[in-house]
Amino acid sequence: MATRSISVSLEEGLLADLDAHSANRSAAVSEAISLWLQQRQLEALQLAYTGLAQLHGGDLKDAARDTVTMGAEAMERLDG
């Protein structure tokens, strides 16, 4: 995948910790952002599933179908 150079400002302490744990700042920041995005996607799924737990009757059947689709799409994004 193509990369693009950007500028990021970090607190001194955070930068020192980053340097202490990684020899490659770009790789560490890229991994951190990927993990952050995955976490946000999982939180969105959890919120959606919480909403589904409150459904009853006919709405539940439609929601279950939509949940399978939404879960598959989320997994594709995480793998992509």
Task: Say if 2 falls within a structural domain.
Answer: no
Tell how far CA 60 is from the center of its chain. Answer: 26
The model's pLDDT over 2-13, given as tens digits with 9 standing for 90+, comes to 999 999 999 999
Question: Residue 76 corresponds to which tokens in the numbers above?
Answer: 């594709």
- Rounded to whole angstroms, the Cα distance separating 77 from 66 reads 17
- Report yes or no on 70 lying in a domain: yes
Give residue-wise pLDDT tens across range 27-77.
Answer: 999 999 999 999 998 888 888 777 766 766 666 677 777 777 877 787 787
Round to whole Å and give the CA distance between 79 and 48.
Answer: 20
Total domains in the chain come to 1
User: Domain for residue 32, yes or no?
Assistant: yes
Domain that holds residue 64: 12-79
> Burial level of 63, CB count in 10 A (0-12/13-18/19+)?
middle
Whether 5 is in a domain gets the answer no
pLDDT of residue 50: 76
| The pLDDT of residue 78 | 77
- The answer to whether residue 6 is domain-embedded is no
Q: Using CB atoms within 10 A of its CB, is residue 9 exposed (0-12), middle (13-18) or buried (19+)?
A: exposed
4 assigned to some structural domain: no
